Amino acid sequence: MAEQLDLFSSFQPDETPTPHPAPVPAHIPATFTSPGHQSSPTRQTTVRTLPNNKLLKDPSGRAADLGEAVASVWHKQHGGTHIEVPIGLVAALCFIRQKDARGPDLKAQILAQDDRQLIEMYRQIWSAQWLHRPDLIDRARILHEWLNDAEEPDEHRLYVVRAVTKTILDRDLLDLTGHADPYLRAQADVLSPTLTALRSLGARQGLGEYHTPPAISDSIAEVLLGEFTTEVFADQLKNLKPQQHIHDPAGGSGGMLRSAAQKLRREGLDPADYRWSMVDIDPIAAACAAVNALTWGLGPRVTVACADALTNPHAVEDAMVQARAVIEHRDRVVGQAHMIAAIRRTRHRLDQVADAAA
């Protein structure tokens, strides 16, 4: 199984791009928060105490039910062949956190918006995440680029988007992904069963796409990471370095990486202290993996490549080059925005001085 999950690989390309967070525009709704990583000042050497009161019963089963429900409503409402649309809706809602659990009901707030406001909400969610991690959001472009089409969504598209959104929330997605704690957000992969349910059997076979069941992924992670038992933590923790690398050359939506990250957390380690990479030939699966990397809190050193790992052994290095270019583009855009804002503030002050002098 080492071919599927090359844990602590000797693969050592140039340093993985580590984007710094950009400021989120003020117009992003205050109800929503970005899952930015905050590193602990010191490593924890104790095994994680699980928050049993928040652990879900059969999270993978609930994720599968959600995927089936989304596929059902999409097809019943004649959503069409663009399955990236409903998958993108699930992905966007995975980014939502409720700041105050005792505050207004978030589901009700979302559904209270009219159709155009709902579309704008989705645009703002993806925009906020692009400012935070442009490299991963660019990899997930297929899931959200339809929101930026030159033509606004027609009435039928608006209707189907609302129907799918309601189904996602009715199936309690926020119970799976709405937690502040990334361990709780990573109890299940909600995008994999959604993709599987929406894609036909023939399409999956043509792509060679067979997603590993979560229980199998968890078992593999336990075995491959078994050397990091609590008995050896004291010595191992002194030598762990961020360059240690967890890689999956046939990653799908990232299920193996999720299992590995959860295993590390249970043993008192922070996945953000590691480097993560994966490759998948399917652009929608790779997009889902990029979203999952953010949802599951894998940290700043994550690379998702969309390529055939068998024919392109340098897929991860190529993806790193692309990631750097996207991050540099983000920095230029944000820098220009700050400059424009500064010029406008200066003009406003000059106008005020001129008005006062007059």
- Measured in residues, the chain has a length of 358
**Is residue 83 one of the residues assigned to a domain?**
yes
Q: What value does the mean pLDDT of the chain take? A: 80
Q: 14-18, 247-251, 260-264 — which is least confidently predicted?
A: 14-18
**Is residue 46 one of the residues assigned to a domain?**
no
CA proximity to 128, closest of 38, 37, 29: 29
Residue with more model confidence, 209 or 342: 342
**Is residue 42 one of the residues assigned to a domain?**
no
**Is residue 353 one of the residues assigned to a domain?**
no
**Residue 207 banded pLDDT, cuts 50, 70, 90:** very low
**Is residue 349 one of the residues assigned to a domain?**
no
**Is residue 340 one of the residues assigned to a domain?**
no
Q: What number is the average pLDDT over the span 265-289?
A: 94
Q: Which of 21-30, 218-227, 338-347 has the highest mean pLDDT?
A: 338-347
Q: Does position 179 have pLDDT exceeding 80, yes or no?
A: yes
Residue with more model confidence, 47 or 205: 47
**Is residue 351 one of the residues assigned to a domain?**
no
Q: Does position 355 have pLDDT exceeding 60, yes or no?
A: yes
**Is residue 118 one of the residues assigned to a domain?**
yes
Where on the phi/psi map is residue 15: left (φ > 0), alpha (ψ -120 to 50), or beta?
beta
Cα 303 to Cα 317: distance, rounded to the nearest angstrom: 9
pLDDT digits (tens, 9 = 90+) for 91-116: 999 999 876 667 788 999 999 999 99
Residue with more model confidence, 56 or 81: 81
Q: Which domain holds residue 124?
A: 6-35+56-334
**Residue 34 banded pLDDT, cuts 50, 70, 90:** very low
Number of domains in the chain: 1
**Residue 9 banded pLDDT, cuts 50, 70, 90:** very low
Q: 16-30, 82-96, 129-143, 148-162 — which is least confidently predicted?
A: 16-30
